[in-house]
Amino acid sequence: MKAVIMAGGRGTRLGPYTAIFPKPLMPLGDGMPVLELLLRQLQAAGVTEVILAVNHLHHLLRAFFGEGERLGMKIGYSLEDAPLGTAGPLGAVLDQLGERFFVTNGDLLTTLDFAAMLQAHDAAQADATVASFRREVKIDFGLLETDASMRMTGYIEKPSYPHLVSMGCYVLKRDSVRPHLVAGQHLDMPDLMRALVAAGRHVHCHAPECRWLDIGRPDDYATAQELF
């Protein structure tokens, strides 16, 4: 099993830390980088080969992970000359991947069971599977509902709305995504998923019980340190 990890972003929300380190190398606990934890989780799920799509401070990622010898897996690199988005880098490496493969963000921090996600993808006979997380969005104001003439029809005090959000982890079927990828062309993953749906492909949302943090925000990064 193979995986592609998007590790080329600048991580601007975590500045100034990411002026020195690429975000996937941000340390947890006593020093294990976020990306190393993710690689170990993927390896436990049967992933033996990984391609890192890199750009920002890529030499530091290469220096730290090498070709994967220390982790007992094969790691290769795909260097972007310009940012290609969260799906665009796949265009250059698609022929190096298997019939189905994982794609994840390089800063993914979760207790997701990757092996169970792959099983769910196969069971659904999906063209793509999106790891999904249930999150409540709370509005800290009273919401007014009105008709066309601005006459109030309802008043909802500080409501909460449940949403299903993408965790930044996918299983993709190579032949299903191939028509939508062009080497060197910018493409974000939401656009790829919409293109698959428009083409009548089956995009499955996998929403298990797990923990997930968006460590792009300093507050969540601090929480990650405490939880690790």
Q: pLDDT tens track of the chain, all 228 residues? A: 999 999 876 544 545 454 566 778 888 877 788 899 999 999 999 999 999 998 877 888 889 899 999 999 999 999 888 889 999 999 999 999 999 999 999 988 899 999 999 999 999 999 999 999 998 889 999 999 999 999 999 999 999 999 999 999 999 999 999 999 999 899 999 999 999 999 999 999 999 999 998 776 677 777 777 776
Q: What is the pLDDT of residue 29?
A: 72
Any idea how long the chain is? 228
Residue for token pair 């991947």: 97
Question: What's the CA gap between 84 and 55, in Å, rounded?
Answer: 10
Question: What's the CA gap between 198 and 187, in Å, rounded?
Answer: 16
58, containing H or E segment: helix 58-65
Question: What's the CA gap between 222 and 54, in Å, rounded?
Answer: 25
Q: Are 77 and 66 in contact (CB under 8 A)?
A: no
Q: What is the pLDDT of residue 12?
A: 47
Q: What is the pLDDT of residue 215?
A: 74
Neighbours of 64 (CB within 10 A): 15
Nearest residue to 52 (alpha-carbon basis) of 28, 72, 68: 68
Question: What's the CA gap between 47 and 33, in Å, rounded?
Answer: 19
Q: Are 103 and 90 in contact (CB under 8 A)?
A: yes
Q: What is the pLDDT of residue 20?
A: 63
Question: What's the CA gap between 122 and 103, in Å, rounded?
Answer: 16
Q: What is the pLDDT of residue 50?
A: 97
Q: Classify strands 203-206 and 128-138 as parallel, antiparallel or unpaired.
A: parallel
Angle subtended by helix axes 58-65 and 34-44, to nearest 10: 50
Q: What is the pLDDT of residue 101?
A: 98
